[in-house]
Structure 1
Amino acid sequence: MTAGDPIWTPSAEFADGSRLADYQRHLERTGLQFEDYRALWRWSTTELSEFWESITDFFDLDVTPPESVLDESRGMPHVRWFAGSTTNFAATALAEGREGTAVSSLTEDGVRSDMSWEELRLAVGAVSHWLREQGVGVGDRVVAYVPNVPEAVVCLLATASVGAVWASCAQEYAVAGALDRFGPLEPRVLIVADGYRYGGRRHDRRTQSAELAQCLGTLQQVLWLDNLGLEPAGAGARYADVVAVGRAPEFTRVPFEHPLWVLFSSGTTGRPKGIVQSHGGILLEHTKFLAFHADLRPGAVFLWLATPSWMVWNLQVSGLLVGATIATFDGSPVWPDASALWGLAEALDLDFLGASAAGLTAARRAGARPLDVAPGLRLRAIGSTGSPLPPDTARWVQSELPSVWLASASGGTDICSAFAGGIPTEPVHADRIQGPTLGVALEAWDDEGRPVVGRTGEMVVVRPLPSMPIGLWGDEDSSRYTAAYFDRYPGVWRHGDWITVTEDGGVVVHGRSDAVMNRQGVRIGSSEIYAVLDRLDTVADSLVVGVELTDGDYWMPLFVVPADQPDKHVAESFAVAVKAAIRAEASPRHVPDEVILVEALPHTRTGKRLEVPVKRVLQGADPGAVTDAASIDDPSALAAFVRWRPAGRGLSAGRRSATEDGLSRAR
């Protein structure tokens, strides 16, 4: 197999049996003809109204006929979707007539439970009735400080049922971090759990939950979930009492663009934004993505590992829209080691496992073969997101599980979905995502704002998507929303990623465009360096940035967490070996000015490297001001970069490294 060969090609049975192929045949029966997926994608991005209306028809979604599907007369971001139409997200998620298991759950200590569709409907009906009794109605906010458990799914659907607005935050967040997110929403109800499981421990969060309730001055009621069997630490109702008598759910119909939930940006480029998305927009986008680009169908068991702080958790709940059985997991997928990932997939009988790129890479490095760990594994597909999947990890997954479709995706909290993702009718290549998803008019633009193919450029979306935010919370005049996405190209969504659209329609994500390095006029994506380091067993973690110095010089340090802490003599040869590998496998331009060994590197709680915040700290910014501390796994690791500021170390033009090897060492 050469570097350009596919690592997986769908069989005729797999491709023809996909929901995407079924949809294409449906369109062709109406007189449309498509030579291949690329032709279908082009139609979906040029005939937006016809495409999105076909989604409501094909899936028989509960959306009343609109006055118009899409009004673009004012341009992005001021478009209007399905004017005059009403819907309710939860009504489709809980559609009648489904049988079997709706939600499967697993805890880190191995306890599994299943909830049928009827049990889910009755529980949602009971909680939505309780919410109405508390005075919660259309537009009110319900917030949740909870782990990834079935009760959280019930509460989200109950909130949507009454037309209220949902927001959630995982319990590993400190009270201050949760308050930063929930406080501006002025919620009427807070849902909390007694704690969560992680890393072989049970984490009691009753004190933090009670403190959060006291700090939210607009609360009228607190609902306590029993996850660890501990007594509540404050006043409020008990979930078990609320659902003791099930009720048929009642759904309040709301306008298509009525707020469904508020998501919070990861904080990698500043304070988290409250991103508001709509009932109808999420209903259409998630149905499309999960059916066509994850190939989910009724009865398929679906888990995408996430906590309620990450948009992927919301996407996972939406598996119900297409009749899938969704799974929840309360625990660490890498405990007691990274190979545990395969054991939990076996325990839940998963058809589709979604994980972070970092998690899959950790599983590869753990050395255990998936089918040795979990001989009963029956996976049909694996999804990867959160950061670019290293090609070596993609090849390893495919070699270990050759029949499994590897559906990498790249998206964002901003749309709560993927811009580019899996295509079950197309081959998979190790070095790229299969292509843009249907309805996403994705392009790479050069510095002059012209689309380019086969070359790197800014990722833009030139036509609207229904799941784009209906606004940012508290941004009454849309000025912050416009500044966040439409500042550089008016009327065109600029996402902030640096990508290449390949000749065959694939998408390579190189990293954040504001973190892309420029050495002597040559742009370098950090993923190109990480791809080399990922193959080195001596490297546990790494981060590279490019820093413009005040005197006009440019400094590109590479920070490395070694797999084993070497002594000084070994450390020097370590740096030489790292540089040699980068030179040989990338190019001389990719070789860093310094290799700096550190004990730890910071990440978001979803595993993303903090390239932009680290760069800003190195340029002199206060570590506490560059990102949201609550969203970081190790704030002290970010603060430690203060000592590596170029000015404080005497670096200037012509002096790019302290030694010939370019080695420094954190002590």
Structure 2
Amino acid sequence: MSKLLWQPSEQRIRQTRMYRFMTYVNERYNKDFSCYDHLYQWSVTEIADFWAAVWDFMEIRASVPYDQVIDDLTKMPGAKWFAGARLNFAQNLLRYRDDKTALVFQGEDRAPEYWSYARVYEEAARLAASMKELGVGPGHRVAGYMPNMAETVIAMLAAVSLGATWSSCSPDFGIKGVLDRFGQIEPTVLFSADGYFFKGKRIDTISRLDEIAGQIPSVKRFVVVPYTMENPDISGIKNAVMYPDFRAGGPAPEMEFAQLPADHPLYIMYSSGTTGLPKCMVQGAAGILVNQLKEMVLHTDVGREDTVFYFTTCGWMMWNWLVSALATGATIVLYDGNPFYPGPEALWKMAEDQKISVFGTSAGYLGALENSGLRPGDRFDLSGLRAVLSTGSPLSEEGFEFVYDAIKSDLQLASISGGTDLNGCFALGNPMGPVYAGELQCRGLGMKVEAWDEQGQPVIGRQAELVCTAPFPSMPLYFWNDPDNKKYLSAYFDVYPGVWRHGDYIEINERGGVRIYGRSDATLNPGGVRIGTAEIYRRVNDFAEVEDSLVVGQNWKGDVRVVLFVKPVQGCAVDEDLKDRIKKNLRQNASPRHVPAKILEVPDIPYTLNMKKVELAVKNIIENKPVSNRDALLNPDVLDFYANIKQVHEE
């Protein structure tokens, strides 16, 4: 039985926007819903009515209303959403144009920069005017190879105001990683900073831009933002111009906001690319807008009074998700750099200074914070903090308890899970509901998510495949350069035609809570019994000697054996005593099937640039299979170590 950690008061429940929305639905459709579960069941049964209510409740700005919410609820993929509507995504995010702070940018060891809504609007208008002079408009792509700074947000708003499609990746991507992404989509304008800071060091990107410029001939302008130095030398970069020289001068222009169909391409997002070239997922403006506002306003309860932070780079979908908060009139905080520089207190000092009310991060960060010994609630004034969000990987029960013990006891901890594919969540927080250790509070409104067993039947209280059995607005429109939809269909619909199979291994309990057990393609099958990797990580994290770990299922003599790789903390070793204690813990607290056949010490654990463990890459390499795109990894050289571990091929 999961441990109850937090329960909102009745007064707090009634003040939430989720409660207001439920009341709105009751009045609009003559319902009498009194709890989230009733509202959720209606939202996945009367799907068109639900999304119509979201559209109106969020006051979506559209110059032409839609003719129908959805054309065919049985069609997945391919259903048309909000046909007939004409709108502009940037116009919806820039509905406020006053002196309230819209953006706060804080980099390592730098004073924060503050941008009002009026200033953001004016700066975006100047950039849009300059891009329009280049001919940028619908059918064009604009890309950002940028730190998570204000100019990145403004460039996106300017581009999509013209009808261009925006795509971004962070500056820690190497040249090949950039070319693998932007080389496919052929942008017309590419924004980049001259460099970025990490752990107090300046990292140059100017030297990379010349080669990038030479291999993406579609780029008419490389716009370089001076960040790490005042006057960087860009003379060696073809078609380069400094940002201050590019933005239009003179009187502030008005933004024109091209009015476009609901399914006009807004974003191009990328798969991690660890098994080949990254897949380019094209996402539509209206679908992303309504789904992200549903998540931001209803599930996260964000409004004008909030200050919202998410620790992310511009190469992770959480950046796109965070930026949508502008439509609520909230203040969003952008941070670029190492979250533990100059020490583990960095983000919490910022949370105190900026009075952050919603603090978003990853399970990996919370684990590292716990290991650092810092208890933010003891050192900082977090009186304004009301919600902590966690994603990227499953947050363990112990991780949940750490948040309530060391950060703040009275807040909503929302573990959220979805994907780049939908630029949103399948399961996430509910400000009206309780928080149980290790559980995501609920499935998202309008997301008909089920757990399906091996026979394709929905199950409750058992681990199974995450599927979504009805269309949702933020599904990708298509994949770039995939004219017959072959890549798209194989990504989600190859197992259950007409049903989205996401690739996560989950359990849905009777009260609607969700547990994530890891990627279903990385689940372990010793003796034919499926085991989620999260169950092993949770137990291994109990040991102070373990800094990090990775577990794979290795094909071995007609079966699968569990192999655990352990990175010890500095000064410790993975000796026989530690191995025995790990095995005993797993046997007693999980099951005998969870006990690894081998436990091996490694110097590091491979991660993608978005900080996700790459279990499949390690599985492939120890089985002598190729790993085709190492540039998608943060630390690709470590795979050479795994390829040469002799013990993994021994009894």
TM-score when normalising by structure 2: 0.96
Corresponding residue for residue 494 of structure 1 = 501
In structure 2, the partner of 1:620 is 624
Q: Which amino acid aligns with 1:11?
A: S
Aligned residue for 2:281? 275
1:525 aligns with 2:525: no
Q: 1:406 to 1:650 in 2, by over 3 A?
A: closer
Q: 2 CA distance for matches of 1:437 and 1:558?
A: 34
**1:39, CA displacement in angstroms?**
0.8
| 1:455-483 deviation digits (Å, cap 9, x = unpaired) | 01110000111111000111111111011
Find the aligned partners of 1:206 and 1:129 in 2 and give their Cα distance: 25
Amino acid of the structure 2 residue aligned with 1:16: R
Note if 1:6 corresponds to 2:7. no
Contact 2:97/2:118 (CA < 8 Å) preserved in 1? no
1:607 maps onto 2:614 in alignment: no
Deviations 1:538-579 (A, max 9, x none): 100001111122x31322111000113546xx7121211221
CA RMSD for the aligned pairs?
1.6
Query: Following the alignment from structure 2 to structure 1, what is the Cα–Cα distance between the partners of residues 476 and 285?
Result: 11
Distance in 2 (alpha carbons) for counterparts of 1:284 and 1:12: 28
Q: Does structure 1 conserve the Cα–Cα contact (< 8 Å) formed by 2:551 and 2:564? A: yes
The residue matched to 1:57 in structure 2 has which SS?
helix
Residue 19 of structure 1 aligns with which residue? Answer: 17
Counterpart for residue 156 of structure 1: 156
CA distance in 1, matches of 2:374, 2:227: 31
Amino acid at match of 1:83: A
- Structure 1 residue 62 corresponds to structure 2 residue 61: yes
- 1:209 is displaced (CA, Å) by 2.2
- Displacement of 1:33 in angstroms is 1.7
- The question of 1:352 aligning with 2:358 is answered yes
Q: Residue 515 of structure 1 aligns with which residue?
A: 522
Contact 1:103–1:116 under 8 Å retained in 2: yes
Are residues 74 and 566 of structure 1, via their aligned partners in 2, closer, same or farther at CA, if it must alter by over 3 Å? closer
Q: Residues of 2 paired with 1:323 and 1:272: CA distance?
A: 34
Matches of 2:418 and 2:380, distance apart in 1: 30
| Residue ranges of structure 1 left out of the alignment (5+ in a row) | 656-667
Deviations 1:333-355 (A, max 9, x none): 12233342312222332111100
Match of 1:658 in 2: none
1:100 and 1:299 in contact (8 A); partners too = no
Q: How does 1:551-566 map onto structure 2 within 5 Å? A: 551-566=557-572
What's the counterpart of residue 108 of structure 1?
108
User: Structure 1: how far apart are the matches of 2:331 and 2:242?
Assistant: 26
Question: Take 1:442 and 1:552, find their aligned partners in 2: how far apart are those partners?
Answer: 34
Once residues 595 and 96 of structure 1 are traced to their aligned partners in structure 2, the CA distance between those partners, rounded to angstroms, is: 56
The separation in 2 between residues aligned to 1:437 and 1:322, in whole angstroms, is 19
**Could you report, residue by residue, the CA deviation over 1:107-144 in whole angstroms, capped at 9, with x for unpaired residues?**
11131011111101101111011110011111101111
Which amino acid is the alignment partner of residue 80 of structure 1? K
Moved more, 204-213 or 256-265: 204-213
- State which of 314, 319, 323 in structure 2 corresponds to 1:317: 323
Among 349, 372, 384, the residue aligned to 2:378:
372
The answer on 1:289 being equivalent to 2:304 is no
1:42 alignment partner in structure 2: 41
State the SS of the aligned residue for 2:434.
coil
Cα distance in 2 for residues equivalent to 1:232 and 1:18: 51
* Larger mean Cα displacement after TM superposition, 586-595 or 61-70: 61-70
| Distance change in 2, residues 1:317/1:458 (3 Å) | same
1:663 aligns with none
- Please tell me whether the aligned partners of residues 345 and 377 of structure 1 are also in contact (alpha carbons under 8 angstroms): no
Counterparts of 1:98 and 1:121, CA distance in 2: 9
**Partner-residue secondary structure (3-state), 1:384:** strand
SS in 1 for 2:525: strand
Shift of residue 197, structure 1, vs aligned partner: 1.3
Task: State how far apart, in whole Å, the 2-side matches of 1:347 and 1:228 are.
Answer: 24
The aligned amino acid for 1:300 is D
Q: CA deviation at 1:587?
A: 1.9
Residues 92 and 321 in structure 1, CA contact (< 8 A), matched pair in contact too: yes
Deviation for aligned residue 1:507: 0.5
Q: Distance in 2 between matches of 1:371 and 1:566?
A: 30
Q: Name the structure 1 match of 2:306.
A: 300
Matches within 5 A, 1:186-225: 186-225=186-225
Q: Distance in 1 between matches of 2:563 and 2:324?
A: 42
Q: Aligned pair in 2 of structure 1 residues 98, 501: CA closer, same or farther (>3 Å)?
A: farther
Residue pair 2:129, 2:248 contacting (<8 A) in 1 also: no
Provide the secondary structure at the position in 2 that maps to 1:288.
helix
- Residue 597 of structure 2, aligned match among 593, 596, 599: 593
Identity of aligned residues (%): 37
2:91 is matched with 91
Q: Tell me, what secondary structure is at the counterpart of 1:524?
A: coil
Q: Which residue of structure 2 aligns with residue 633 of structure 1? A: 634
Asked if the contact 1:6/1:428 (under 8 Å) is kept, the reply is yes
- Distance, in Å, in 2 between the alignment partners of 1:468 and 1:408 is 22
Q: What one-letter code is carried by the residue in structure 2 that aligns with 1:38?
A: D
**The one of 444, 448, 456 aligned to 1:437:** 444
For residue 335 of structure 1, what is the aligned residue in structure 2? Answer: 341
Contact 1:441 1:462 in 2 (8 A): yes
Deviations 1:17-60 (A, max 9, x none): 11101111111222122131011011111111111111111121
Q: Tell me the residue number matched to 2:475.
A: 468
Change (3 A) 1:276 1:324: same
Q: Measured at CA, do residues 50 and 650 of structure 1 come closer, stay the same or move farther in structure 2, by a change above 3 Å?
A: closer
Contact 2:283 2:475 in 1 (8 A): yes
How big is the shift at 1:216? 1.0
Partner of residue 395, structure 1? 401
Q: Distance in 1 between matches of 2:553 and 2:176?
A: 32
CA distance in 1, matches of 2:390, 2:260: 34
1:480 aligns with 2:487: yes
Name which of 524, 546, 552 aligns with 1:545.
Answer: 552
Whole-Å Cα distance in 1 between the matches of residues 635 and 382 of structure 2?
36
Asked whether the equivalents of residues 98 and 323 of structure 1 are also in contact (C-alpha less than 8 Å), the reply is no
In 1, are the aligned partners of 2:363 and 2:395 still within 8 Å (CA)? yes
In 2, are the aligned partners of 1:146 and 1:171 still within 8 Å (CA)? yes
SS of 1:327's equivalent in the other structure is: strand
TM-score, normalised relative to structure 1 = 0.94
Looking at structure 2, the residues matched to 443 and 493 of structure 1 have their Cα atoms a distance apart, in angstroms, of: 10
Give unpaired runs (5+ residues) of structure 2: none
Corresponding position of 1:579:
583
- Is the 1:583–1:590 Cα contact (8 Å) retained in structure 2? yes
1:98: Cα distance to partner?
4.7
Instruction: Work out the CA distance in 1 between the residues paired with 2:353 and 2:144.
Output: 27
CA distance in 1, matches of 2:98, 2:430: 27
Cα distance 1:96–1:572, how it changes in 2: closer, same or farther (>3 A)?
A: closer
Contact kept, 8 Å, 2:281 with 2:476, in 1: the verdict is yes
Please tell me whether the aligned partners of residues 94 and 121 of structure 2 are also in contact (alpha carbons under 8 angstroms): yes
Structure 1 residue identity aligned to 2:232: E
What residue number does 1:504 align with? 511
Partners of 1:339 and 1:366 within 8 A in 2: no
Structure-2 change in CA distance of 1:192 and 1:650 (3 Å): closer
The code of the aligned residue for 1:53 comes to: A
State the shift of 1:609 in Å: 1.1
Please give the secondary structure, in 2, of the residue aligned with 1:181.
Answer: helix
1:109 aligned counterpart, secondary structure = coil
Q: Which AA in structure 2 matches 1:277?
A: Q
| Change beyond 3 A, Cα 1:536–1:146 | same
- 2:117 is matched with 117
**Which deviations, in whole Å up to 9, do the C-alpha atoms of 1:570-591 show, x marking residues without a partner?**
7121211221222222222211
Write the letter of the residue equivalent to 1:32.
K
Provide, for residues 310-344 of structure 1, a one-character-per-residue CA deviation record: whole Å limited to 9, x for no partner. 11111111111222111111211122333423122
1:499-522 per-residue CA deviation (whole Å, 9 max, x = no partner) reads 000111001000111111112232
> Take 2:601 and 2:174, find their aligned partners in 1: how far apart are those partners?
29
Cross-structure match for 1:238: 242
Q: 1:263-284 CA distances to partner (integer Å, 9 max, x unpaired)?
A: 1112345432101101111111
Q: In the aligned structure 1, how far is the partner of 2:97 from the partner of 2:147?
A: 29
